[in-house]
Amino acid sequence: MTFKHLEERSAYEERYDSATVERCRSIEDHFLSPEIQQKGLSDGRGFPDWIMPLQIFHLTGERYRNRKETINERMEKDRQRDAMLAQTRPPFMRCPSCGQPMECVDTSLKYGFEEGERDRVTFFLNCKECKEVHHIYENGTPIPRKPLLCEKCGKEVEFSSEERDGKYYYIRTCKHCGHIEERMSTLDEEEKNPTKEELERFERDKKRFCISEEQGKRFLEWEKRMKQIDDQKEEHLLNVELYDRVKEVKSLTIASLEKKLRKVLEKAGYSDLQITMPPSGREIVLEFSIRDTKDSRKDLESRQTLSETIEKALEMTNWSLYPESVTYRLGVLNGRIRGYESQEELETLMRSRMKKKPKKKKSEGMTVEF
């Protein structure tokens, strides 16, 4: 019979809640430990005593927030695993020794644990004649058998199992050095029944840490308000920076703009700048043409260098280049530049520049002289 993954929803809920209790308990154990308790603040406010409830508050809220979705995801994953096992048929294979068709004795899943790694179905095929078992993937690729090694001499051991006093043991016997290793099945280890006190403590902790729907809703409300406050703070800071920048902007006339551009562009190897102002609507748009004096510079490189040089020169002015407007033909480049007049337009321009270059360090542009 094939192992079935999907269980009742309550089983997933129980596991999720136990994990919540475990995690909250470990916070308490940490903060209530003598080493941490001694690190109180000098004014008498013990810092572990106010950090601990905060951490628990956040964790219990977060566990509440993700509970339903996490459980849905886990159930969906198990549902998919079962479907995968049910749909896949073992590949047909002949025994490499005698040539008889082999029979599938077990189907199982090899779980993908790493990110992006998928589960894969594997089969154990058996040859009745030769008693040979092969472990393979769906496409017939063999899965290499990992030999069990002796912890003393490192040679391969023989494996057996045994039941004693209602418990299950795995035994590894080494024929080379005679060493015997015995381990109790971890399933048996885990199945120690909890005592009455442990059960009562768990129920108490579950009430404290797995918060009710009402408490959970209050947490979500609180979280939303905190986020709004953060957003407002950020928006406010952005605006403060924006107004600072707008104040720093130099408003250039067309003549000063031309002078500034001619200077930096000549340095970058372009000459003969021509600027015209076509009759336009509401916006001030200038058209320009310029020649590239460097023969070695071709289309794309020439356009990029020109755009970068112009954008850098105009960074703190009321003018900006339309980068996509720059064209190149046989060493002549054309493009368009837009001018901004009103305060409102300037704010829009600077806001978009700040988005491209988010942080402006206060120290930038300052030089220290000795």
Task: Give min distance, CB of 93 to Zn ion, in A.
Answer: 11
Residue 124 CB, shortest distance to Zn ion, in Å, is 15
Least distance from C-beta 149 to Zn ion, angstroms? 8
Read off the tokens for 39.
Answer: 């690190």
- Nearest one of 31, 26, 29, 30 to 47, comparing CA atoms: 31
CA nearest 3: which of 78, 74, 66, 54? 78
Tell me if 174 contacts Zn ion by CB under 5 A.
yes
Kindly state whether residue 150 participates in binding Zn ion, applying the rule CB under 5 A: yes
Distances 2 to 84, 111, 124, 174, 299 between C-alpha atoms, Å: 12, 15, 12, 32, 65
- Identify residues 79-98 at the interface with Zn ion (CB under 5 A): 95, 97-98
Contact call for residue 177 and Zn ion (CB under 5 A): yes
Q: What's the chain's length in residues?
A: 370
176 binds Zn ion (CB under 5 A): yes
Is position 201 an interface residue for Zn ion (rule: CB under 5 A)? no
Decide whether 129 or 162 has the Cβ nearer to Zn ion.
129
Annotate each residue in 103-142 with x if it binds Zn ion (CB under 5 A) or - if it does not, as one string.
Answer: ------------------------x-xx------------
Q: Per CB under 5 A, does 336 bind Zn ion?
A: no
The answer to whether the CB of 208 falls within 8 A of the CB of 191 is no
- Rounded to an integer, what distance in angstroms lies between the CA atom of residue 328 and that of residue 306? 10
When the beta carbons of 130 and 277 are compared against Zn ion, the nearer one is: 130
Identify which range of 13-21, 166-174, 276-284, 298-306 contacts Zn ion by CB under 5 A.
166-174
Nearest to 358 by CA among 234, 232, 184: 234
Place of tokens 């970068």: 308
Phi and psi at 39, nearest 5°, equal -85, 45
- Rule CB under 5 A: which residues touch Zn ion? 95, 97-98, 127, 129-130, 150, 152-153, 174, 176-177, 179
